[in-house]
């Protein structure tokens, strides 16, 4: 029974949604990709933050978050002595900027990226494809968390 008391005494606490220095954000995002949906979900879970998008005017928000399209790259990084592919590097890159509705820059255009290495085996193509999709989803979640931390660092 002493475990919870000790954890509380050391300053441990579960991760909380970030606190933002602005009260509303307008999402200027291309389409409705899984990354955009995850970002919107994370922003909406924040306390005291109103998320505006296509149906509302951007001038009614404190800040405007502009997100570029998500780019996914797959590069060969290793081959066997016979020329067979043995390893790929998967990369996901997003770009964003944060500005005020009047155009004043809050966060200049910034790129965030994640990469993962994945081995390749011709006899397990279907399972490697599923693993690749799982790694892309993991990178997407990491990028959204990075973006949330960047936005939480903004003080207005």
Domain assignment present for 147: yes
Domain assignment present for 96: yes
Can you name the residues that pair with 75 across neighbouring β-strands?
Answer: 89
Domain assignment present for 2: no
Q: What is the arithmetic mean of pLDDT over 114-133?
A: 87
pLDDT band at 101 (very low <50, low <70, confident <90, very high): very high
pLDDT band at 142 (very low <50, low <70, confident <90, very high): very high
In this structure, what is the dihedral angle of CA atoms 131, 91, 31, 105, given to the nearest 10 degrees? 150
Domain assignment present for 10: no
Domain that holds residue 112: 17-152
Domain assignment present for 28: yes
- The answer, yes or no, to whether residue 156 has pLDDT greater than 80, is no
- The answer, yes or no, to whether residue 31 has pLDDT greater than 80, is no
| Mean pLDDT, the chain, whole residue set | 88
Domain assignment present for 58: yes
Residue 111, token pair as written in the block: 């790129």
Domain assignment present for 4: no
Alpha-carbon distance values, 131 to 119, 123, 145, 148 (Å): 10, 14, 21, 26
Domain assignment present for 57: yes
**CATH number of the domain bearing residue 75:** 3.30.160.150
Which pairs from 101-104 meet CB under 8 Å and 24+ separation?
A: 101/26, 101/58, 101/59, 101/60, 101/61, 101/62, 101/63, 101/64
Domain count, the chain: 1
Percentage of the chain beyond pLDDT 70 is 93
Mapping DSSP to helix (H, G, I), strand (E, B) and coil, where does residue 18 land?
A: coil
What pLDDT, on a 0 to 100 scale, did the predictor assign at position 81? Answer: 86
Alpha-carbon distance values, 16 to 40, 46, 139 (Å): 17, 9, 21
């Amino acid at each position: 029974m002493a475990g919870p008391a000790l954890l509380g005494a050391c300053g441990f606490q579960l991760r909380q949604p970030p606190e933002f220095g602005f009260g509303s954000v307008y999402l200027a995002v291309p389409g409705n990709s899984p990354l955009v949906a995850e970002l919107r979900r994370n922003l909406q879970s924040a306390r005291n933050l109103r998320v505006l998008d296509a149906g509302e005017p951007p001038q009614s928000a404190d800040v405007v978050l502009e997100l570029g399209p998500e780019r996914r790259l797959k590069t060969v990084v290793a081959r066997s002595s016979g020329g067979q592919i043995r390893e790929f590097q998967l990369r996901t890159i997003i770009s964003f900027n944060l500005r005020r509705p009047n155009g004043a820059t809050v966060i200049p255009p910034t790129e965030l990226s994640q990469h993962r290495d994945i081995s390749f085996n011709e006899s397990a193509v279907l399972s490697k494809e599923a693993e690749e999709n799982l790694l892309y989803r993991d990178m997407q979640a990491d990028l959204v968390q990075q973006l949330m931390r960047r936005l939480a660092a903004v003080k207005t």
